[in-house]
Chains A and B, each alone.
Chain A
């Protein structure tokens, strides 16, 4: 195992070919003193913690993220009329809801907090993408990690930005809060027919379960052959040894097909990116391609019609249906409205 699991913590290996980027970034330093947690070696995990590259983009990202967390807590406490104990007690149920319409919210409580949070966190993840790109270029790597991160951002912006814009109101986006998230997911799958009949949702679940399955297969295969060095994957791609031979032959004999140390990582990269890309397509097409996936599936012969269905009523539904966000819990005593208008009010 190339992983060093004992001895003093090592400073980072000097990378040949110094980059101009290090000298252009005034915050471009490695911080911290690396130290070891010996306990991790019991599991074969690398024991070294640190150092961490600071970098302007990383600092900006963390600052905006922390600012967002502060605004979230502030919004939550103010929703409970300044009662911190109630905020902690009802933490799971406190929700910061988006405003109606696509404009500026009329007040902080009526969606302004939500908008500020969204802006801060959008800036934060974008800065993190730049940090990712900057590090990848510094290491002369191909930008796979950058594109994986960007596709994750694609999904969140589809949920919180693109689809609300397409539907004409920020109220289509999930609120911020533990149960707020869960309620949004529940309502979203009920209001638009039956989301299980959404083919992009089917594909997303295929990729999601497939990702876990591939981790099971790949992780188990490498652990089973690591005694012969199959976990040195970067080196094995260049020059295969018995560990990789066995990994490949195992699957060839089991299912008649095998990847190799390089192509297995193509599979896992595309499966994980497939999750977020097909989710994004499934989300944006809900309410736009159809406002009822059950009707859509009956129309396309995928699902049998279970019973009478008032087609005219369904077809007359407006394209943008305001989401009602029912509370599945008794409203906390003393809670004030966190949004304007007639919906999503915590009584």
Chain B
């Protein structure tokens, strides 16, 4: 335990306790908080891992780079596939989704316990949305589980490559382009924030003056300082923006747009031809 931890480790204030009045899962295991959702999440994850390795054993390739749990064959559509022909993928995807969602609820429990805002579980929900877009929503929209990506190291790389070329040129997908902008911007802003804190702490005797110096530095450097609260607001929304654009990027490819090159073959009616 950290030296200040005992004052924060208080029982109660969990979601399960809120509903049924008591919470038999309300305890810590070592440094981890357990809770009902922790038990559900870890249970689903362990079960999924078991099925994953069981399927790898069935398929016979134990090479960790190449081992591939592939989605169901096209002929099974949105139905249930036999275990060796994509049923394993279905089981693992369902268990992983359960595990992720339970993990988000576990974060809600911990936020409630620490009496802090729910920003982290909200952010995690956006991350889960990327998984669900790829593995649940898009296959449903296209009417086939075979549209999901392979659970495999190189298999998912191959899937990304193939999916890009299937819609001609993925770089011409505007949502893809603006998602990449979000990714690179978040890396750049991250570097600026990390540099400002690591560069400036313990450089003055007075911490208040130090913080004023951070504002002054950015005003000198680029004419604007977003502020020590504002920079985290910016990072938070940059991450959400990037995830939403990523969702749109993959959800539009297939259900609505078959060809991102042809997508641009339009012109504004009032523009001179």
Contact = CB atoms under 8 A, between A and B. Distances in A.
Do A and B pair up? The answer is: yes
Interface of A: 1-3, 12-13, 15-16, 30, 32, 34, 40, 43-46, 48-53, 85, 89, 131-132, 135-136, 139-145, 148, 152, 179, 182-183, 185-186, 189, 194, 196-197, 202, 207-209, 211-227, 231-235, 237-239, 245-246, 248-250, 252-256, 262, 265-266, 268-269, 271-273, 275-276, 297, 301-304, 328-329
B75 interface: no
Given A269-B191, A269-B198, A216 B236 contact: yes
Contacts of A52: 219-220, 222-223
Contact of B202 (A89, A186, A238): A238
Interface in B209-233: 209-217, 219-230, 232-233
Nearest to B35: A253
- Sort A-B residue pairs by CB-CB distance and give the 7 closest, nearest first: A269-B194, A46-B227, A224-B117, A219-B235, A219-B236, A53-B220, A145-B195
A2 B200 contact: no
B183 A223 contact: no
16 contacts: A12-B216, A44-B230, A52-B219, A135-B221, A145-B195, A215-B189, A216-B123, A216-B127, A226-B117, A233-B201, A254-B32, A265-B193, A265-B197, A269-B194, A301-B65, A329-B264
Contacts of B261: 328-329
A253 B239 contact: no
B172 A328 contact: yes
B32 A253 contact: yes
B229 A143 contact: no
B120 A220 contact: yes
Interface stretch (B13-21, B90-98, B133-141, B155-163): B155-163
B183 A215 contact: no
A224 B195 contact: no
Contacts of A209: 183
B80 interface: no
A145 B196 contact: yes
Q: Is the interface of A mostly helix, strand, loop or mixed?
A: helix
Interface string B49-66: 000000000000101011
A13 B209 contact: yes
A196 B216 contact: no
B187 to A, nearest CB: 4
B24 interface: no
Given A212-B182, A268-B190, A220 B225 contact: no
A2 B228 contact: yes
Nearest to A233: B197
A215 B186 contact: yes
B8 interface: yes
A3 B228 CA distance: 7
Interface stretch (B81-89, B105-113, B142-150, B248-256): B105-113
A14 to B, nearest CB: 9
A201 to B, nearest CB: 9
B203 A231 contact: no
A272 B191 contact: yes
B117 A44 contact: no
Contacts of B196: 145
A219 B219 CA distance: 22
A304 B210 CA distance: 56
Contacts of A186: 169-171
Contacts of A234: 197, 200-201, 207, 210-211, 214, 228
B200 A139 contact: yes
A130 B237 CA distance: 31
B223 A49 contact: yes
Most B CB atoms within 10 A — which of A131, A141, A207, A297?
Answer: A141
A44 B231 CA distance: 9
Given A145-B195, A220-B119, A238-B202, A2 B211 contact: yes
Contact of A45 (B186, B197, B233): B233
A85 B239 contact: no
Contact of A145 (B66, B192, B207, B242): B192
Contacts of A185: 171
Interface in B172-194: 172, 177, 182-184, 186-194
A48 B219 contact: yes
Contacts of A202: 157
